[in-house]
Chains A and B, each alone.
Chain A
Amino acid sequence: MGEGSPEAVLRCEGLRKSYGGLVAVDGVGFHIAPGETYGLLGPNGAGKTTSISMIAGLLERDAGEVMVAGKPLTTRSTDAKRVVGLVPQDIAIYPDLTARENLSFFGRLYGMPKVELKQRVAEVLEIVGLADRAGDRAEEYSGGMKRRLNIGIGLLHRPRLLILDEPTVGVDPQSRNAILESVERLSVEGMAVLYTTHYMEEAERLCDRVAIIDSGKIVAEGTRRELVELVGQHDRVRLTATGDLKAAVDAACAIDGVKGADVIDGGIDFLADRAGDRLIEILTKVGASGVIVSSVRVEEPNLEAVFLHLTGKALRD
C-alpha cells in the first residue's frame, strides 16, 4: 500500500502543533489501510495524544492534513468524523449515567437509528464484558470497568477507523486480553486501527506496523521485522558478572556468531546470532577467564530494544 494510496482509511501528513514555545508534534505523517493495525509507540510526552487529537478533529492544528476515507477531516467536518471511532486516553463518560445510557447517548450522536442502536449496545456490552453491570451507574464501576466502557463507546458505531489512545492502562490482564482480542477481531473484519501504547507486548501482538515517536517526531516506522533489522538482527545476551570482565569479553568475541560484546555496569552485553545455540560456549569461555557469572538473560530483539537504540531512552520510565 503506497504512500498516496487512495484506499488508505487514514492518511495524515505534516501534522504540527506547538504550545507556546514547546513543539508537541513536529511533522507527523503516516497512513493506515483497511484491516491494518498501526501502532504509535513512544514515551510520556512524545506527542501521541496530541497527534491523535488532531487526527480525530478535536484539536486545531498548526499545519498538516488529515484524510479519512478520502475525505479531509478538520475540527469542523462532521461528515468525515462519521467513520471514526475514538477511545480517548482520559476516560470520558458520564459517571451519573449507566453503561447502557452512556452507550445509547453517544450512539445517538453518531446518528444510529434507535432500533439498531439498542441491539448494538447489547453487543458492545458483551464485547467489553459489562453486560451484567449495564444498569449500574458508571461511578460505581472499578477503574478497569470504566475504562472498558470508555472503549465500548468508541466501538459502538462500527467505525472504519478506530483510534485507541492507551486503552488498556489500568485494566486487569484478563480484561486486557478480552480487549485485545476484540481489537484483533475488528481488524480481521476490515477495521483500520490506530493504537498507541506503552506496552511493548500489545504493540507486538496487535500492530501490523509501528511508528516510533519521540519528541513530536516519528523516528522510525515499519513492521516489527523491519524495525528490528534497523538495529541489526541480533539477539542480546546479558550477563551479570564480576571479575576481569575485559578479558572475558576478548575471549568470548572469538566465538563464531558473536557479533560484539561490551562491558556494562556490573556485567557484559553480547550481541549474537541465535544466541541460545551459543550460550554454553559463551559461558564456558567467560568462566575460563576467571569471571563469576551470577545471572544470564537472553533477549530476542524487540521493539523496546529498537526504541532504546533509536532514542537512547527506555520506553517506560
Chain B
Amino acid sequence: MGVPEKGCDAVKALVIGANSVRRLLRDRANIFFVFMLPMLLILVLGAAFGGGSDPRMGIVAEGSGRLGAELADSVRQTEGVDVRDYPDKDALVVAVERGQLEAGLIIPVGYDDTLRGGGSVALEFVARTDPTSQALRNTVDSAAVRQGTLLRAAAFAESQGVMEFSDALELAGRVAEASPEVLVTQEAVGEPFVFQRLGTFDMGAYSQLLLFIFLTSMTGSSALIQSRRLGVSRRMLATPTSVGTILAGESLGRLAVALVQGLFIIFGSAIVFGVDWGDPVAAAAIVIVFSMGAAATGMLMGAVFKNDQQAGGLGVVIGLGLAALGGCMLPLSIMKLFSPGLWRVAHVTPHAWGIEAFEEIIIRDGTVADIGLQLAILAGFAAVVFVLATWRLRVALTRS
C-alpha cells in the first residue's frame, strides 16, 4: 500500500496522544492534578511575585506642616510608586530593613515653618542598595526641586514687595500647574545583579514554574508503564506502528497537558496578579522546549522501569533533584559566586538553561532571538533523551 508514511506516523502519534489524554481525564482523581494544581500555583505565584512591579516607598510627614504634606502628595502622585505612610522614622527604617519597602522619605518636623522662615531643611532618604531605590530617590529629588522652584518664586515676589509670601506661593503653584512641564524618563542600562532582593529571597516565579512543569511532564512515565503492563504497547507494535511513533504518541499526551498547564499558569498569573514573565512569545517558547525535555525524561523512565510506583517515586526525586541542582532552589548567580564548579555541573540540567533563558527575557528584556542558545540546548536535550527512550522501549518490548 502506497500510503504516505510520515504523515501517517504523525497521525498515529496524535491518535495515541489523544487516547492517553482521554484516559487521563476520564479518571476523576486526575482532575485535581490537571486543573486544580495549576490554579493553586497561580495563587501561590501571584501572592509571592504578583504586583511586585511597583516599588514601595514609605513616608513620614508627621508635624511637617502644609508644605510637608504638599511634598508628600507630590511624591504620592508619581506614577508607578506605591507610597505608604509611616508614623515615625524608626518604623520606617525597620520596614526598609525587612524588605517591606524599597525606600523611605522622612520629612522633618517643622518643615513648613522653617521654609517659610527662609531657612533650609534637609530631607532624609532611607534606601536599600538596589536600582529600584535609586529610581525612588530620583522621584523624591524631582518633587523637592519642584517645590523649591515655587518657594524661590514666592520669595522673589515677596522681596520685590509684590505680595505676601504665602499668597505668592499659592499663586506660583497655580501658575506651575497651568504651565508646561519638562519630563525626564529613565531607562536602566548595563547588567544589574540578578539576585537583587536577598532579604525576601526572591527566586522568580519562573523557577517554580519550571520545577512544576518538569514534574508534571514526567508523570508520563507511569502512563507508559501502565500501557506496557496492560500489553497494549506490545499490541501497538503488532500494528504497522514503529516504536518511535508509539513513544512520540505516549509522550505527546502528557506533553500537551503539561503545556496547557504551563501556559495557563503564565497567562493566569500575569493577567490576574501581574506576575512578570517577560516577552510572552519567548516565555512560551521556553516552556515548550523545556516540557519536551521533561516529557522525554518521563518516557525514558517509563521504558526503563517496570513498576509505576517505583517510577513515580523516583520521578519526584529526580524532578526535585534536577530542579535543586539546576538552580530552582538556590539561585544560579549565588551558586556561581560560591562554587563555579557546581555552577558548571548545574548546566547538565535543563532547569539551569530554562532559568537562564527566563532571566534573559525578564531581567534583560530579551526576546526569542536572545535565547536561541538556551532554546537550542533545551531542544537538543529533549531529542537526545527521546532517542535514548526509544531505544530502551524497543529493548523492553522486543527482547523479552
Q: How many residues of B contact A (CB 8 A)?
A: 30
Q: With a CB–CB cut-off of 8 A, which chain A residues contact B232?
A: 92-94
Q: With a CB–CB cut-off of 8 A, which chain B residues contact A76?
A: 242
Q: Are B231 and A106 in contact (CB under 8 A)?
A: no
- The residue on B at minimum CB distance from A76 is B242
Q: Determine the distance from Cα of A94 to Cα of B236 in the docked complex, in whole angstroms.
A: 12
Q: With a CB–CB cut-off of 8 A, which chain A residues contact B230?
A: 92-95
A54 CB to nearest B CB, Å = 10
A243 CB to nearest B CB, Å = 56
Task: Identify A96's interface contact among B27, B240, B394, CB under 8 A.
Answer: B27
Q: Are B242 and A78 in contact (CB under 8 A)?
A: yes
Q: Determine the distance from Cα of A153 to Cα of B15 in the docked complex, in whole angstroms.
A: 16
B1 beta carbon closer than 8 Å to chain A:
yes
Q: With a CB–CB cut-off of 8 A, which chain A residues contact B12?
A: 108-109, 111
**Residues 62 to 99 of chain A near chain B (Cβ within 8 Å):** 75-76, 78-79, 81-82, 84, 86, 88, 90-97
Task: Identify A86's interface contact among B22, B235, B241, CB under 8 A.
Answer: B235
Q: Determine the distance from Cα of A97 to Cα of B20 in the docked complex, in whole angstroms.
A: 11
Q: Determine the distance from Cα of A60 to Cα of B394 in the docked complex, in whole angstroms.
A: 10
Q: With a CB–CB cut-off of 8 A, which chain B residues contact A57?
A: 237-238
Q: Are B235 and A88 in contact (CB under 8 A)?
A: yes
Q: Are B238 and A78 in contact (CB under 8 A)?
A: no
Q: Determine the distance from Cα of A153 to Cα of B234 in the docked complex, in whole angstroms.
A: 13
Q: Determine the distance from Cα of A105 to Cα of B249 in the docked complex, in whole angstroms.
A: 12
Q: Given A82-B1, A90-B231, A108-B12, A96–B23 Cβ distance below 8 Å? A: yes
- The residue on A at minimum CB distance from B231 is A92
B233 CB to nearest A CB, Å = 9
Q: Are B231 and A91 in contact (CB under 8 A)?
A: yes
- The residue on B at minimum CB distance from A157 is B239
Task: Identify B239's interface contact among A93, A95, A96, A109, CB under 8 A.
Answer: A109
Q: With a CB–CB cut-off of 8 A, which chain A residues contact B397?
A: 58
- The residue on A at minimum CB distance from B239 is A109
Q: Determine the distance from Cα of A88 to Cα of B397 in the docked complex, in whole angstroms.
A: 14
A84 CB to nearest B CB, Å = 7
Q: Are A94 and B238 in contact (CB under 8 A)?
A: no
Give the one of B8, B26, B241, B400 with max A CB within 10 A: B241
A59 beta carbon closer than 8 Å to chain B:
yes
Q: Are B237 and A88 in contact (CB under 8 A)?
A: no
**Residues 1 to 57 of chain A near chain B (Cβ within 8 Å):** 19, 56-57
- Mask of A183-196 contacts with B, CB within 8 angstroms, 1/0: 00000000000000
Q: Determine the distance from Cα of A41 to Cα of B139 in the docked complex, in whole angstroms.
A: 92
B399 beta carbon closer than 8 Å to chain A:
yes
Q: What are some 13 contacts across the A-B interface (CB < 8 A)?
A: A57-B237, A58-B398, A59-B398, A60-B398, A78-B241, A93-B230, A94-B19, A96-B23, A97-B23, A108-B12, A109-B15, A111-B240, A153-B235
Q: Which residues of B contact A (CB under 8 A)?
A: 1, 3, 5, 8, 11-12, 15-16, 19, 22-23, 26-27, 230-232, 234-242, 394, 397-400
Q: Which residues of A contact B (CB under 8 A)?
A: 19, 56-60, 75-76, 78-79, 81-82, 84, 86, 88, 90-97, 101, 105-106, 108-111, 153
With A58-B397, A94-B23 already in contact, 15 other A-B pairs whose C-beta atoms are closer than 8 Å: A58-B398, A78-B241, A82-B240, A86-B238, A88-B234, A91-B231, A94-B232, A95-B230, A97-B23, A108-B11, A109-B16, A109-B236, A109-B239, A109-B240, A111-B3
